[in-house]
Amino acid sequence: MDLHKSRTIPEPALSLLRRAVTRLLGGGIDVRALLARQADAEFRRHCTVADKVQFTASARCLNHSGDRDRIHIGRGVVMDGILACHRHGHLVIGDYSFVGRSRIYCVDRVQIGRGVLISDNVAILDSNMHADSAVQRFESAVAWVEDGRFPDVYTGIDYAPVVIGDFAWIGFGACILKGVTIGTGAVVGAGAVVTADVDDWAVVAGNPARVIGEMPVHVPDVSDLSDHPGVHSPPDFLE
């Protein structure tokens, strides 16, 4: 069997692909800008979005609840990542926060404060997402593939709210697990796995994350932003 030949794209399809690429490039179409506009439209369909929010071509919103009020994105947020909110979840991202090419999973409650920096490859999860039972995990996988049933992320699965305080910085590749509160101005080092609360202005690193230092207490002045509605009072689903 000629494996190379079997993988060759048929000439009619290849010709069509060439013409499509030539049309895009020759027409001066900015594909990334087009994708960013599509992301903007997607988020506005599935979330409540404040003013001056920027969505990149990589941003995605997966609102499995179907209720756009369950996700709120504050003023001036820059979104480059993926939000996945399940049917009982509530997810809030505070004003002027940045979400890199990361993923936030919300089954219960995820609250991110103002001015938070979330770097690339970060995972934030308020749930284990899968059952402890290997039998249940396998049955769920089979049901998804064979019957088209989306996995149940609630039955027999532990979850607890995640809160990230104002002005925190979550480093590249960090993982924030269920039930964790990260304090104001705290810094989570690259690759850290956070399983317990982090105090205000603390610096943590490692797996599991441990305190390795502290940041100077420099609270940004937001007084000049007081004229903008929502800056001081994002929705709080944790009350």
Q: What residues are labeled active site? A: 130
Max Cα-Cα span within the chain: 72
H runs (alpha helix) in the chain: 3-6, 11-26, 31-46, 134-147
Report the C-alpha gap between 61 and 53 in whole angstroms: 14
| CB-CB neighbours of 124 under 10 Å | 27
Asked if 191 and 207 count as a contact pair (C-beta separation under 8 A), the reply is yes
Q: Which structure tokens are listed for 170? A: 């979550």
Asked if 57 and 51 count as a contact pair (C-beta separation under 8 A), the reply is no
Spatial CA neighbour of 110 closest among 137, 82, 131: 82
Q: Are strands 82-85 and 60-63 parallel, antiparallel or unpaired?
A: parallel
Provide the β-strand partners of residue 110.
91, 162
Report the C-alpha gap between 28 and 31 in whole angstroms: 9
Spatial CA neighbour of 177 closest among 153, 159, 191: 159
Report the C-alpha gap between 46 and 61 in whole angstroms: 7
Asked if 124 and 107 count as a contact pair (C-beta separation under 8 A), the reply is no
